Amino acid sequence: AFPWNNTILSWQRTAFHFQPEKNWMNDPNGPLFYKGWYHFFYQYNPNAAVWGDIVWGHAVSKDLIHWLYLPIAMVPDQWYDANGVWTGSATFLDDGSIVMLYTGSTDEFVQVQNLAYPEDPSDPLLLKWVKFSGNPVLVPPPGIGAKDFRDPTTAWKTSSGKWRITIGSKINRTGISLIYDTTDFKTYEKHETLLHQVPNTGMWECVDFYPVSKTQLNGLDTSVNGPDVKHVIKASMDDTRIDHYAIGTYDDSNATWVPDNPSIDVGISTGLRYDYGKYYASKTFYDQNKGRRILWGWIGESDSEAADVQKGWSSVQGIPRTVVLDTRTHKNLVQWPVEEIKSLRLSSKKFDMTIGPGTVVPVDVGSATQLDIEAEFEIKTDDLKLFFDDDSVEADNKFSCETNGGSTARGALGPFGFSVLADEGLSEQTPVYFYVTKGKHSKLNTVFCTDTSRSTLANDVVKPIYGSFVPVLKGEKLTMRILVDHSIVEGFAQGGRSCITSRVYPTKAIYGATKLFLFNNAIDATVTASFTVWQMNNAFIHPYSSDDLGVPSST
Amino acid sequence: MASTEALLPVTSLQDPLSESRSDQIPETRRRRPIKVHLAVYSGLLLIALYVTLIVTHDGSKAEIATESRPRMAGVSEKSNDGVWISSDDGKVE
């Protein structure tokens, strides 16, 4: 294993992504906006930097960027959650009160669903939570394994006025989402039908189900339905640790959902993903404050557990993203960092560069540890024409970032993009890039990739090449946005049609030695890049005090 | 870790044996060769047992690697350990 030292490990801690002060974190839980505060709960081990002893951590924010750590919200103190207060979701009832459904791992490791609610609804901080005396409210039904029944969703209203939830599970190798109706969240009626099922996908964790507008760019409350609405099912695949989603039609009357395109159904390996990098156990909530749907996702580590223990923490949360249906393609979602992230932008520099084939250019932005980059790329028209008129160039519909050699494999029209978190000599670098090939009927086929294979000289790190095809419509330029924050890089292509989050652990490209490069590794294309780079400020994330909260001290 | 503990009782078995050997020093010359043979055979037996335990030790270690704490508790795998070893090949996680 690489001899990590405190200097390197300290640098890895992020500056504007949410993470606890120390120890382990995983799934986002029960996000909501209440009385002026965004609440974020999370799976947290208060005792170590590895998974275990899970409680609900709790933090609040006014803007989803700056956070105050609050006391732990719920701990395993009952037989029905003795082995962990696991993932759950919040629902606002008609009177504005909140109920929280969460999975408990019982004293015998059976997964059951439990009900909790705020002790004092007038408290905007929701500091104290009461567990319902009749817990558990749901136990694994017949035919479902004791350890295959977890992560209840936010409830939505049926046309008959009941509340409906779905819970992920599996039967043999078929991933399923069970459906329950309730009127009081204490007693439930199970549907014999499933919301959805997909063979050979394994256990579905952290199922999410929500509507998206076919016409509007605003988000929708979870209970909204109608002719202008599509419904999204997301499930986290236990087997692969990938979050897959699919878009389809929900039938309220029989509580089922049908995908628009069965060939890219939930969990199918060629199907849609929120993020083609490291992104799991995600959960959305409707932000009634700004009329948008926001997506949280857990970003684990790509280093070893031993390194996590040494640095004393593990995992971050992705920058919250707005999520809407792509109203141009109608085939995918688009995700974009919440607008509040712009409040962290400091000085900026604008660049217009034309770079020929096989060129790497340093971008003079000073230290490049915390950046927000927005870029547009254009391939020289003559080069494009030559390429597409050349009949000897065959269509390449099978190109994949993972298997085609990464950013060093040169093609006619790519790769080109940025190398972030690079050192002066490029011994460490993480290229985020486009690669353009000839697709069917001589159309452009564009993939968006992140290559972490040279991101660090350390050997005890997973260094994949991530990526996917990204739709580029007629008249659109190639665009990308990259958020760089120490050991995390989030890339968004074509306005968020494709996203890639990666964790990288440079050993030389750290502190003041971190550089940014623009590169064009294509053989035949000259590329023009117009981009702006902002230095990013630190977010204010620390334990709360009475002063922070604007409330009188209790002492 | 668990397998290290499993080896401890075997190691401790050797101590009583060596003590008994030292106890035999005052015994008669006639009986000494038998004791020596017994000690040698016992030693060989212990070595065989030790080797067997080493094999078992490796096997149990492999089991632990696939059944981590979160897996045993009933949630998805949380760690990359075991994956990063292949990362130098550029394999996808």
> pLDDT per residue over A339-387, tens digit each?
999 999 999 999 999 999 999 999 999 999 999 999 999 998 888 887 7
* B61-75 confidence digits (pLDDT tens): 343 446 899 999 999
- Could you tell me the pLDDT band of residue B42, with boundaries at 50, 70 and 90? low
CA A445 vs CA A118, A395, A400, A437, A474: distances in Å: 51, 9, 11, 5, 12
> Distance (Å, rounded) from C-alpha A478 to C-alpha A266?
28
Query: Choosing from A27, A148, A151, A485, which is the catalytic residue?
Result: A27
Q: Is residue A552 scored above 50 in pLDDT?
A: yes
- Chain B hits for A236, CB-CB cut-off 8 Å, are 76
Confidence of residue A164 (pLDDT cuts 50, 70, 90): very high
Q: Beta strands of A288-341 (E only): which ranges?
A: 292-299, 313-314, 316-317, 321-325, 333-337
Q: What is the pLDDT of residues A40-78, one digit of tens each?
A: 999 999 999 999 999 999 999 999 999 999 999 999 999
What are B60's two structure tokens?
């149990």
Task: Read off the pLDDT of each residue in A182-191 and give the average, rounded to a whole number.
Answer: 98
Q: Is the pLDDT of residue A128 over 60?
A: yes
How much is the pLDDT for A249? 98
Give the mean pLDDT of A433-455. 89
- pLDDT grade, residue B16 (50/70/90)? very low
Q: What is the pLDDT of residues A271-324, one digit of tens each?
A: 999 999 999 999 999 999 999 999 999 999 999 999 999 999 999 999 999 999
In this complex, is the C-beta atom of B69 within 8 Å of any C-beta atom belonging to chain A?
yes
Check B80 against A51: CB less than 8 A apart.
Answer: no
Per-residue confidence (pLDDT) for residue A397, from 0 to 100: 66
Per cent of chain A over pLDDT 90 is 90
Task: Give the pLDDT score at A551.
Answer: 58
Q: Give A-chain residues touching B90 at CB under 8 angstroms.
A: 406, 453, 463-465
Span A383-409, average pLDDT = 79
For residue A236, the distance in angstroms to the closest alpha carbon of chain B comes to: 10
Hey, which bits of A326-408 come out as E strands? 333-337, 345-355, 359-363, 370-379
pLDDT at B38: 62
pLDDT given for residue B61 in this prediction: 38
Nearest CA in chain B to A303: B80
Per the annotation, the verdict on A27 as an active-site residue is yes
In angstroms, the first-to-last Cα distance of chain B is: 26
- Separation between Cα atoms, residue B25 and residue A26, nearest integer Å: 64
Do the chains contact at A465 and B93, CB–CB below 8 Å? no
- On whether ipTM exceeds 0.90, the answer is no
3-state DSSP call for residue A103? strand
Write down the pLDDT at residue B28: 33
The DSSP code sequence of B15-84 is: HHHHHHHHHTTTS-TTTHHHHHHHHHHHHHHHHHHHHHHHHHHHHHHHHHHHS-HHHHHTS-----TTTG
CB contact under 8 A, A463 and B90: yes
Question: In terms of DSSP H, where are the helices of A262-325?
Answer: 305-311
Look up residue A374 and give its two tokens. Answer: 């927005």
- Closest-CA residue in chain B for A52? B70
At residue A278, the 3 state secondary structure works out as coil
The two beta strands, A23-34 and A313-314, are parallel
pLDDT exceeds 50 at position B53: no
Instruction: Check residue A498 and give its pLDDT.
Output: 98
Supply the DSSP string of A48-97, one letter for each residue.
Answer: -SSS-S-EEEEEEESSSSSEEEEEEEE---SGGGTT-EEEEEEEE-TTS-
Query: A99 phi and psi, to 5 degrees?
Result: -120, 145
CA distance A369 to chain B (A): 24
**pLDDT computed for residue B21 by the predictor:** 33
Check if the beta carbon of residue B62 is closer than 8 Å to that of residue A431. Answer: no
B73 half-sphere exposure, CB direction, 13 A CA radius: 23
Query: Residue A30 to residues A36, A108, A150, B75: CA-CA distances in angstroms?
Result: 16, 25, 14, 18
pLDDT above 60 (res B32)? no
Amino acid B60: pLDDT: 39
Q: Which of B79, B88, B90 is opposite residue A465, by nearest beta carbon?
A: B90
Interatomic CA distance for residues A422 and A369, integer angstroms: 10
The confidence score (pLDDT) of residue A465 equals 97
Identify the pLDDT of residue B49: 57
Residue A546: predicted pLDDT: 75
CB contact under 8 A, A462 and B69: no
For chain A, the average pLDDT equals 95
pLDDT at position A405 is 87
Q: What is the mean pLDDT of residues A486-515?
A: 98
Residue A100 banded pLDDT, cuts 50, 70, 90: very high
The verdict on B67 touching A (C-beta cutoff 8 Å) is no
Q: Over 90: is that where the pLDDT of B46 sits?
A: no
**B5 to chain A nearest CA, in Å?**
21
Among the partner-chain residues B77, B84, B91, the one whose CB lies closest to the CB of A241 is B77
Hey, are the CB atoms on A83 and B80 less than 8 Å from each other? no
Cα separation, A266 vs A198, in Å, equals: 7
- Nearest chain A residue to B79 by CA distance is A305
Token output for A338: 């919440």
Report the DSSP beta bridge partners of residue A98: A92
Q: At residue A254, does pLDDT exceed 80? A: yes
Who's near A396: CB < 8 A, 6+ residues apart?
A437, A438, A439, A445
Helix (H) or strand (E) holding A12: helix A6-12
| Burial class of residue A160, CB neighbours in 10 A (0-12, 13-18, 19+) | exposed
